[in-house]
Structure 1
Amino acid sequence: MNAEQLKALLTQVKNDDTSVEDALEQLKELPYHDLEYAKVDYHRELRNGFPEVIYSPGKSLGQIRGIVRDMLARTTGNILASRASEEVYEAIRELTPDAVYYKEARSVVVKREPYRVSEGTIAVVSAGTSDIPVAEEAAVTAEVMGNRVNRLYDVGVAGIHRLLDNVDVINHARVIIVVAGMEGALASVVGGLTDKPVVAVPTSIGYGANFGGVSALLGMLTSCAGGIGVVNIDNGFGAACLASKINQL
């Protein structure tokens, strides 16, 4: 419940549209609502600046529908479900026509209000086309969180001239998310070309010695370029959360 909803509840009590007892019951559930299989955290936006996001894997369609139904009833803002399949999208769309599916990002967004637009820009840069799903998860998440996003894809070190032709895109951003698999070298190169903070995302894309993204992760962690922070393998969502907080300071 946000400030506007609390104000509306107090107005209902004042106008005798809601009893004091009913209002107290709603106030009891301000921090979170216990659905037994999930405790939906309604204070997360107050603490972290963005509402709780539904991580779809491991949840049944019934559980996801239950969480979304509860959020629709208790909030007025946008809702994000990450790592969502088309089945998850269809389940959410049964509850609201405002659901939009971003297939490459594997994300469902229930758009109930316009996105805020930040003053600064986040650049999302991918090494290869195969890294785009993780890059799109980062880009869509950052947009939902109220950031302007520029995408720059397939500019990996195997053809460094593609990156050098777009240095202006990188340097005009306030924060840069770099998504790369294989050996993860793109983060070091970008970090050496800009004075902006870089959030590096290793992906699981690569041949056997890539070890499912471990080589890219270690390469980014041991980068000699300064100003690089690294999130977990394939964690476009986490990169967007960090970049958004930096961008909106």
Structure 2
Amino acid sequence: MNNKDIRELLAKVKNGNLEVDQAMGQLKDLPFSDLGYAKVDHHRSLRNGYPEVIYCEGKSNEEIKGIVTNMLERGNNILATRAEEEVYHALEELTDDIEYYERSKIIVIQQEEVAETESEILVVTGGTSDIPVAQEAVITADMLGNTVKRLYDVGVAGIHRLLGNQDKLKEANIIIVVAGMEGALASVVSGLVDKPVIAVPTSVGYGAHFDGVASLLSMLNSCASGLGVVNIDNGFGAGYLASTINRQIEQARNN
């Protein structure tokens, strides 16, 4: 049973064409698949609106292949993060509908089309070195069905680059700011706009930057209102959170 089947089943219940207990009978084998080393959560899309995402670090190639094989059977789109190239080559054996983004170490397997939102998510970086983390956010948000735009290399060391693109800031509904060094860009952007800003500190920086801790603390201590912060290098978390917010905006607009 894939996402389309589930949606059709729920629609039948809503329209009174199927009793709830009958629907539950059809769904009884859906909650999760026990592979021994992993329990693949097939109810995730029902609860959260999106299928489970595979975090690849610490898993063997065979374990990842087993999880992906199980998910492929249900027709879901699949997102695998922190995947080395060898993982990609292992998964190539399973499907042709696969794409690997080497710079951000993320794998996308797309089996069904996803409609893009009217509401835009804008991903902004302080520097070019922040792009791998930003790309993780972009791909995640795009995979989850959002319209995503980019504004790269507009850090505070040359703030005229950011101020010259304020139209892009105004057009977006949610902004993800990805920055290392002192992490000041998130505060500046949040001070310019009237919309949610999600800050992503990166591990880009010199010695006293402490692999991202400096920019993380700077973002957490920001005086700018409407600023939320995810963990260091967590582009996926930012893209997922932005998508969740954007989905609420779309639902409110359509109602």
d(CA) in 2 for partners of 1:134, 1:7: 33
User: Deviation per CA, 1:80-128, whole angstroms, max 9, x where unpaired?
Assistant: 1011111111111110010111122211111112222011000000001
* Counterpart mapping for 1:1-249 below 5 A: 1-2=1-2, 4-5=4-5, 27-73=27-73, 75-249=74-248
- Whichever residue aligns with residue 33 of structure 2, its letter is H
d(CA) in 1 for partners of 2:173, 2:247: 10
User: Deviation per CA, 1:186-221, whole angstroms, max 9, x where unpaired?
Assistant: 000000111111000000110111111011001001
Q: Is the 8 A contact 1:105 1:140 kept in 2?
A: no
Output the aligned Cα RMSD: 1.8
1:158, distance to aligned residue in structure 2 (A) = 0.7
d(CA) in 2 for partners of 1:142, 1:103: 17
Q: Secondary structure at the match of 2:159?
A: helix
Q: Is the 8 A contact 2:3 2:76 kept in 1?
A: no
1:229, distance to aligned residue in structure 2 (A) = 0.3
User: Deviation per CA, 1:132-181, whole angstroms, max 9, x where unpaired?
Assistant: 00000000000000000001111000110111111111110000000000
User: Deviation per CA, 1:52-92, whole angstroms, max 9, x where unpaired?
Assistant: 0010100000000000011111x212111011111111111
Q: Secondary structure at the match of 1:5?
A: helix
d(CA) in 2 for partners of 1:7, 1:197: 30
Q: Secondary structure at the match of 2:80?
A: strand
Change (3 A) 1:210 1:7: closer
Change (3 A) 1:180 1:88: same
- Whichever residue aligns with residue 63 of structure 1, its letter is E
Change (3 A) 1:176 1:97: same
User: Deviation per CA, 1:216-248, whole angstroms, max 9, x where unpaired?
Assistant: 001001111100000000000000111111111
Aligned length: 234
In structure 1, the gaps of 5 or more residues are 10-23
d(CA) in 1 for partners of 2:6, 2:219: 45
- Whichever residue aligns with residue 168 of structure 1, its letter is D
d(CA) in 2 for partners of 1:8, 1:227: 38
d(CA) in 1 for partners of 2:7, 2:190: 47
Q: Is the 8 A contact 1:116 1:145 kept in 2?
A: no
Q: Is the 8 A contact 1:198 1:227 kept in 2?
A: yes
Change (3 A) 1:171 1:90: same
TM-score by length of 1: 0.90
Q: Secondary structure at the match of 1:176?
A: strand
Q: Is the 8 A contact 2:202 2:232 kept in 1?
A: yes
Percent of aligned pairs sharing the same letter = 63
Q: Secondary structure at the match of 1:193?
A: coil
In structure 2, the gaps of 5 or more residues are 10-23, 249-255
- Whichever residue aligns with residue 147 of structure 2, its letter is R
Q: Secondary structure at the match of 1:94?
A: coil
TM-score by length of 2: 0.88
d(CA) in 2 for partners of 1:180, 1:201: 6
Shift >4 Å, 4+ stretches: 6-9, 24-28
